[in-house]
Structure 1
């Protein structure tokens, strides 16, 4: 993202330099006042400051990445640009809830339940709701609601009964009842873990869906302000627009392009967060 932002800022700085030179020529010809020159210089210095700040941020990020990879601070070779990175379209259709079993926390909770089942002689059943997680929460809300309210006994099938000698039966039965209580507790923990996982996946799907819409709006805004900037420069060159209109158009163009880069970066971050929320992927 920083590389894209600095490209935008440098392009804007070049525009500001060009505008400042034109205004200085107009000042020398007596067409504008010194105020116009000062305003243009202030805008140019602002643009230069943004470039310097972005250069600093890039160097800091490169240093951090170098340390992370076990090397001395150095320039990082780029293999692509922000706009070249896209999210796969298939994630917009949602993901099966069963994929949550890839998550380490869900897997641990599932194995704890399997262990609790083994202690009570209960066979493993289908422990995940049959639904697809989407940005709206799932295709079958009724099924999901039922899954989170069903009795713990439905998470497995009771096996054979206690067939121990008579003298040990009471002690074994007590141990069995305690194991059942522990097992019900494990079911609740498993259910809670899956519920949290579903919420996290749904959150990221919502972000991806809405950021896609935001990106379309931001992209359209960039086209509009770029057209406005072009017209402002043409009008300024022909004396039909003043310097304030040009400075405003340049400022709007800079901000709109930076905002577009921010939204694109947020899209990619949401994709990474979804990948993590699913425990490592969606394919």
Structure 2
């Protein structure tokens, strides 16, 4: 008889375990996407761009230190890290429902009475200690689907952190380059201002000496005033961009050092693009969108599980005794067990409506995922052509600057020899000033295009260099779809 009981118990356990292996709803599989884009023929293919670290791309020691500081101190990034902690805790809470919940309940009661007629006094005491166990058997995989969704949502916040980290690196670099460009334009303008002050002084002397007409003197004065009017606006832009960089670093507004001239900033000749399909694994915003899709898919299964019965096992075991000193010896055993089965018979369409809602949510997330992929492909395509064309623009601006310098040299020489009038000199000065300003802007645009392309390709992430310490390695490595 004893052997039959054991066999029956083992058989029941095997049946329960077998049923718990079932999970309602579809298992996730990555949607088919048309990502085989033929990049521009001049694009560099080969190694993944992720193999180029941001400190190799931005070869400026001060900029590197600013980026490192931003990755540690930026407050928005800290918010994203705290969000990971929140979802990590929620994931643990969801997973705990798979296991039995064990607790304890203690109870003490006492009463006393005295009969005045008989003189009898009664004291009744009762003590009880009970252990409790409750376990909702996941027969149809509802809880496991919820855990699957919680894991995906957690990984989504991790990818959001990655995305924000890459964006932060890009923003620090772009703000730094913009600040260097403004610094350079301010230097050019101040240098031009000194030259025009000298030109205006000479024009005044020549006018007073009767060598030139007053109009040439007034033209020099106008050019001087125009140049002088540009300086306050450039100084304002320096302050605003400096404050913006300080905020990115997690600092209050303050002065910040800059190293090198913008023209000394190195530009990589080419960035390896790799295959377009690699973006699915490399860009964190795409990975985050897919995590959201995994979570939405799992929620369909969790909703479908409500169609089926729910089995909860509860049990109690303990002692009850009239004496606290000899609680176990003088007490008696107290135990009970309950198997609670609830099954939906009529829900007025509630379960069906919930399943349909989860399917609709999945379709929404699916289309968002596809849109994210298409936008990523567009950003890479835009980045490639911009990176190529800004290099050509910079070369053309450099040629223009060289020609403008020669034009001014010849104009000044011919003016001193009386061959041309002062208008030609002013025109040459104006063209040189514009060429210097334009070249500075072209250099900045080329540097920014390098940053944008690098970001669009999902570069700068090797899985560890910007990983927050709160992310378990096994979770960060579990992105194999």
TM-score, length-scaled by structure 2: 0.43
2:219 to 39, 62, 71: 39
Shift of 1:228: 0.3
Change (3 A) 1:52 1:189: closer
Match of 1:63 in 2: 243
**Mapped contact 1:95–1:282 kept (Cα < 8 A):** no
Counterpart check, 1:9 vs 2:189: yes
User: 1: distance between equivalents of 2:461 and 2:398?
Assistant: 28
TM-score, length-scaled by structure 1: 0.70
Shift of 1:279: 3.1
| Unmatched runs of 5 consecutive residues or more in structure 1 | 122-173
User: 1: distance between equivalents of 2:288 and 2:279?
Assistant: 14
Change (3 A) 1:63 1:105: closer
Change (3 A) 1:74 1:27: same
Match of 2:454 in 1: 275
For these two proteins, the number of residue pairs brought into alignment is: 232
User: 2: distance between equivalents of 1:232 and 1:255?
Assistant: 16
Higher helix share: 1
2:386 to 195, 207, 220: 207
User: 1: distance between equivalents of 2:248 and 2:394?
Assistant: 31
User: 2: distance between equivalents of 1:104 and 1:83?
Assistant: 32
Shift of 1:216: 0.9
Indicate the larger mover: 66-75 or 237-246. 66-75
Match of 1:135 in 2: none
Match of 1:166 in 2: none
Shift of 1:60: 2.9
Match of 1:161 in 2: none
2:433 to 241, 251, 254: 254
User: 2: distance between equivalents of 1:42 and 1:99?
Assistant: 55
User: 1: distance between equivalents of 2:363 and 2:248?
Assistant: 44
User: 2: distance between equivalents of 1:185 and 1:52?
Assistant: 50
Counterpart check, 1:233 vs 2:412: yes
Shift of 1:36: 1.0
Indicate the larger mover: 191-200 or 245-254. 191-200
User: 1: distance between equivalents of 2:362 and 2:254?
Assistant: 54
Q: Which secondary structure does the structure 2 equivalent of 1:239 belong to?
A: coil
2:259 to 47, 66, 79: 79
2:395 to 194, 216, 223: 216
User: 1: distance between equivalents of 2:245 and 2:427?
Assistant: 37
**Mapped contact 1:100–1:278 kept (Cα < 8 A):** no
Match of 1:88 in 2: 268
Shift of 1:114: 4.9
User: 2: distance between equivalents of 1:113 and 1:51?
Assistant: 52
| Unmatched runs of 5 consecutive residues or more in structure 2 | 1-180, 302-351, 463-481
Shift of 1:74: 3.5
Counterpart check, 1:19 vs 2:199: yes
Counterpart check, 1:196 vs 2:375: yes
Shift of 1:100: 4.3
User: 1: distance between equivalents of 2:419 and 2:292?
Assistant: 76
Please list the CA deviations of residues 143-185 of structure 1 after superposition, one character each: whole Å capped at 9, or x if unmatched: xxxxxxxxxxxxxxxxxxxxxxxxxxxxxxx9xx989998777
Shift of 1:250: 0.7
**Mapped contact 2:296–2:361 kept (Cα < 8 A):** yes
**Mapped contact 1:117–1:183 kept (Cα < 8 A):** yes
* RMSD (Å) for aligned C-alpha atoms: 3.2
User: 2: distance between equivalents of 1:115 and 1:70?
Assistant: 33
Shift of 1:199: 0.7
**Mapped contact 2:273–2:457 kept (Cα < 8 A):** no
Q: Which secondary structure does the structure 1 equivalent of 2:257 belong to?
A: coil
Q: Which secondary structure does the structure 2 equivalent of 1:247 belong to?
A: helix
Q: Which secondary structure does the structure 1 equivalent of 2:270 belong to?
A: helix
Shift of 1:207: 0.7
Indicate the larger mover: 104-113 or 60-69. 60-69
Aligned counterparts, 1:69-218, within 5 A: 69-71=249-251, 73-91=253-271, 94-97=273-276, 98-114=278-294, 188-218=367-397
Indicate the larger mover: 203-212 or 186-195. 186-195
